Amino acid sequence: MTEPDSHQGLHFAQDDGEWQFWSYRDLAELTRTAAARLTELGATRGSVVAVVSRTSPGLVASFFGAFAIGAVPCSVPHPFAFLQADRYEDHVGQLLAVAKPDIVLCDADSAQQVAALCTRRGLPVPELIVTEPAAAPVTLSLPGTGDLAMIQFTSGSSGYSKAVKITTRNLESNLGAIREWIGVQEGITRGISWLPSHHDMGMVGVLLNVVVASCETWLMQPEQFIRDPTWYLETISRHRINFTVMPNFGMEYTVRRASRDRTADLDLSCLDGIILGAERLDPELMKRFSSRFEANGLLSTALLPAYGGAEATLAVTGLPRGTSWSSSSANGSTDKVVTCGEALKDVTVRVMTHSGKLATDGEIGEIVVMGPAISPGYVAGSSESTTSIFDNQLFTGDAGFMRDGKLFVIGRYGDGFKVNGTMLFAETIEADLAQNGIPQRSSAVLLGNSESGRPYAVVVLVKPRPGWRDIAVRVASRRLPANVAIEIYEASQSKMLLTSSGKPRRKEMFRNFLAMREAAAA
C-alpha cells in the first residue's frame, strides 16, 4: 500500500467478454477506503470481518483493508455457488455461527439473501463492500507475526466446513514457499484463475500470492470458465500468461468443452506451471490433456501436481518445475496414482501406519504434515472430522504413500471402509468410472454400512447417459468384494452435494440415501 505499482494490476473478467483493469495503485486506494470504512463500522485489531463477494475489486479491497487495520477477514461462499437457497442458508449460516463475525460485508448481488440470513441467525446486519475509492484517512495497524491474520474454511468433504485459524507467520511461510516453488518473479510473472475466492486455492494460491508479489493477473468467475473455457485459453495465449491453478475437473472440462476451431492457432508455450490440486488426479486424463494441447506448444513439464489443505495454509507438496509428472502404485496394488511432488520449503511430510510407525516406501498410511505454515488450530465450535491438529502436526485423514521422496495421495480414510482386511477408497472407484467414460462430477461413490451393518456401496449417477449404468455395475462389481451390497442410484444435479471446492460430500450423501431408503420402506 505504500508504493503500489501503477502499471501492473488485476484484470477482472466481464460478462461481455471484456476485462476491467485495476492497477495496484488503484486497488491500494480502494483498500484504504475499505479500511477506513471498516474503522467507521467499529472494526479494531482482532475483529472478525466476513466477506461475501464474487471475485471483484471490492473483495480484494475488503480483504486487504481488514489486514491493514489488524482485523481478521474470512471469505464466505457467495449464494451463486449454491443451487438451492435453503442449502446455502444451512451451510453458510453454520460457517458464520462458528466464525462469529463482528462485521459482515457483502456485494450487491448477494445483499438481499445475506441480509435475510443474518437477520434469521441473529448476525450483524451486512454492509455493502466498497466499490469506489474515496479520500479517507486511516491508521494502519498490521498484524504481528504471531497474530491471527485470517480465517479460512475447509472444503467440508466429511461434514460442515471447519473454520481454520491462519496466523501472519503461517501466511508468510506458505506464500514464500509457493512463490519459490513456482518461481514467481515480482512484477514479471503473470497468472490467471477462475477459482472462487472462498476456496483456499483461489484465495491463498492465487489472490494473496499475486497481490503480494505485484503480479499481473486475470481473474474470471467460475461460471465464466464453465460457459466458455476457450476464452480462458485464449487469454493465456494472448497475454503470455505463465501460471494457472485448477482441480482435476478443470482439466477434464477443458479437454471436453474447449473449441477445436478457436484453439487451433493458440500458443500455450508460455505456460510454465499449471498447478493441479484439490482432488486425486487421473493419470489417463493428464495424458489426454497434454495430448490435446501439445500442438499448441504446451509442455508436459508445465503440469505441476500438488497437495495441500486449509490447515496447512495451503500448499504442502508440489512437483518441481521442469520435471515431468509420473505415477506409481502402492505396494500390492496395480492402481496408478499421480505423484503430488516433494515437500515444499520448511515443510515435513510423513506417512504413518495405523500402529504409529513410519511407513516404508509404497506402504499406505495417513499423511502427517509439520512446519511453520500449520495452523494453530480451529475456531471453537468447528465441526469434527477425520482431520486434526495436535502439537503443530497436521493429521490429515488422507491416505497416501511415499516413493523416492515423492508423495502419492489415494483418498480420504473417512470416505472409505475396510472389507475382508482390505481398505477400499471411494476415490479409486470414481477414478475407474472416469477412465471408463463417466465424466468426473457426473458420479460419486458412497461407501458405508447399512442399517444391518452390512458393507454397502452406492454409485450415484447424475443425469446418466445410455450405457453409464452398465459401466457402473461392471466397475463396482469388479472393484468390490462379493459381500458388499451394490446399488446404482440415478439422481438430478441437486442431489449431488458438493463441498466448496466441488468434491462430493460423500458421508452426508450416504446418510441421506439411507434415510431415503428407510422412509420408502416405512
CATH number at residue 503: 3.30.300.30
pLDDT at position 344: 97
In a domain, 283, yes or no: yes
Angle in degrees, 0-180, between the axes of helices 283-293 and 426-435, rounded to the nearest 10: 40
pLDDT at 158 > cutoff 70 = no
Q: Which residues contact 234 (CB under 8 A, 6 or more apart)?
A: 262, 263, 266
Which domain, by its residues, includes 275?
A: 202-413
| Cα 480 to Cα 44: distance, rounded to the nearest angstrom | 56
380 and 456 co-located in one domain: no
User: How many percent of the chain have pLDDT more than 90?
Assistant: 68
Question: What mean pLDDT comes out for the span 414-440?
Answer: 86
235 and 374 co-located in one domain: yes
* Range of weakest confidence among 175-184, 230-239, 307-316, 490-499: 490-499
CA distances from 403 to 287, 358, 363, 400, 489 (A): 21, 13, 9, 10, 37
In a domain, 9, yes or no: no
pLDDT at 159 > cutoff 80 = no
**Which of 413, 437, 459 finishes a domain?**
413
Question: Residue type at 180?
Answer: E
Tell me the per-residue pLDDT of 347-365, one tens digit each, with 9 for 90 and over. Answer: 999 999 988 999 999 999 9
CA distances from 383 to 152, 298, 378 (A): 14, 42, 9
Tell me the per-residue pLDDT of 473-521, one tens digit each, with 9 for 90 and over. Answer: 999 999 999 889 999 989 887 777 777 667 788 888 888 888 887 777 7
Q: State the pLDDT confidence band at 522, using cuts at 50, 70 and 90.
A: low
CATH code for the domain of 349: 3.40.50.12780
Angle in degrees, 0-180, between the axes of helices 111-121 and 85-99, rounded to the nearest 10: 60
The pTM for the full model equals 0.91
In a domain, 399, yes or no: yes
318 and 399 co-located in one domain: yes
Per-position DSSP letters for 347-375, written without gaps between them: -EEEEE-TTSPBPPTT--EEEEEESTTS-
438 and 393 co-located in one domain: no
DSSP state, 281? P
| Cα 522 to Cα 513: distance, rounded to the nearest angstrom | 14
Q: Which residues contact 195 (CB under 8 A, 6 or more apart)?
A: 201, 202, 205, 206, 222, 245, 246
331 and 250 co-located in one domain: yes
CB 240 within 8 A of CB 270: yes
| Cα 178 to Cα 312: distance, rounded to the nearest angstrom | 12
Tell me the per-residue pLDDT of 105-124, one tens digit each, with 9 for 90 and over. Answer: 999 999 999 999 999 999 99
pLDDT at position 143: 83
Tell me the per-residue pLDDT of 16-67, one tens digit each, with 9 for 90 and over. Answer: 999 999 999 999 999 999 999 999 999 999 999 999 999 999 999 999 999 9
pLDDT at position 31: 96
CB 359 within 8 A of CB 347: no
| Cα 399 to Cα 89: distance, rounded to the nearest angstrom | 32
Tell me the per-residue pLDDT of 257-288, one tens digit each, with 9 for 90 and over. Answer: 999 999 999 999 999 999 998 778 888 889 99
DSSP state, 303? E
| Residue ranges in 281-425 assigned as alpha helix (H) | 283-293
pLDDT at 1 > cutoff 60 = no
**Which of 383, 413, 443 finishes a domain?**
413
CATH code for the domain of 68: 3.40.50.980
469 and 342 co-located in one domain: no
**Which of 378, 413, 448 finishes a domain?**
413
398 and 456 co-located in one domain: no
pLDDT at position 500: 62
391 and 424 co-located in one domain: no
In a domain, 147, yes or no: no
Tell me the per-residue pLDDT of 376-418, one tens digit each, with 9 for 90 and over. Answer: 999 987 766 678 898 889 999 999 999 999 999 999 888 888 8
368 and 314 co-located in one domain: yes
The C-alpha angle with vertex 240 and arms to 235 and 242, in degrees rounded to 5, equals 100
In a domain, 14, yes or no: no
In a domain, 154, yes or no: no
110 and 228 co-located in one domain: no
In a domain, 159, yes or no: no
- Lookup result for grid cell 481398505: 423
CB 255 within 8 A of CB 230: no
- Average pLDDT taken over every residue of the chain: 91
70: helix, coil or strand? Answer: coil
56 and 135 co-located in one domain: yes
In a domain, 158, yes or no: no
Cell of 182: 513456482
Total domains present in the chain: 3
228 and 360 co-located in one domain: yes
pLDDT at position 509: 87
CA distances from 407 to 274, 333, 350, 457 (A): 18, 16, 9, 28
